[in-house]
Amino acid sequence: MNEPRQRRADAPPKANPKLGYALIVAGLIPLGLGLHAAWQWQRAKVWVPTPATVLETAFETHTSTGSQGSRSTSTRLVARYEYVWQEISHTGSGVGPFNRIEFSSDLKRARHGELFKAHQQQTTVTCYVNPARPVEAVLFRDFRGWTFDGFLGIAGLFAGCGLLVVRQPKPTDELEAN
């Protein structure tokens, strides 16, 4: 008597708008991260190159375990450096616009090696200082096309799937069409 009702084989699957909206929102997160990095890169293009002394640098690796035991590892390049702007000494920690979202740990390792070598040999590196706000500076201001494209692709995938789920025709719509 209490058997679950089975759907007819020819009946379309029911739309799940909550899932669709969740996928769209999930797509907005990488879109926002990618656009923010591109905006920061655009701003940094006009910043002034200035010599800086690396005070410390680290290549941090963070590993977390998911609810089902899966492990996820992320890496981040951190640095602290000192530079002088208009005869005032500043300490900076900005690495670059794409540092937080960069996919390539090889690039982060290479940059860490470059900064570590400069720190060990006590040589200067170039930082780029925002002349309008000299406390704001970055060490690398290159555009990371693969990273940006990857984040746009992920955003498009999630948002597109979400739109497909939300726009899926309801069974009543099909019945009215026939």
Nearest to 34 by CA among 108, 140, 145: 145
pLDDT per position as a tens digit, 12-25: 666 677 888 888 88
CA distance 126 to 17: 50
pLDDT, average across residues 82-92: 96
**Hey, what are 19's tokens?**
């899932």
Residue 77: pLDDT band with limits 50, 70, 90: confident
| pLDDT above 90: residue 105 | no
Do 158 and 37 form a contact (C-beta atoms < 8 A)? no
pLDDT per position as a tens digit, 146-166: 777 777 788 888 888 888 887
Residue 172: pLDDT band with limits 50, 70, 90: low
The overall pTM is greater than 0.75: no
Do 136 and 130 form a contact (C-beta atoms < 8 A)? yes
Do 137 and 83 form a contact (C-beta atoms < 8 A)? yes
Least reliable range by pLDDT among 85-89, 101-105, 172-176: 172-176
Which three-class secondary structure state does DSSP give residue 61? strand
pLDDT, average across residues 30-59: 89
CA distance 22 to 60: 31
| DSSP classification of residue 24 | H
Residue 35: pLDDT band with limits 50, 70, 90: confident
| pLDDT above 60: residue 7 | no
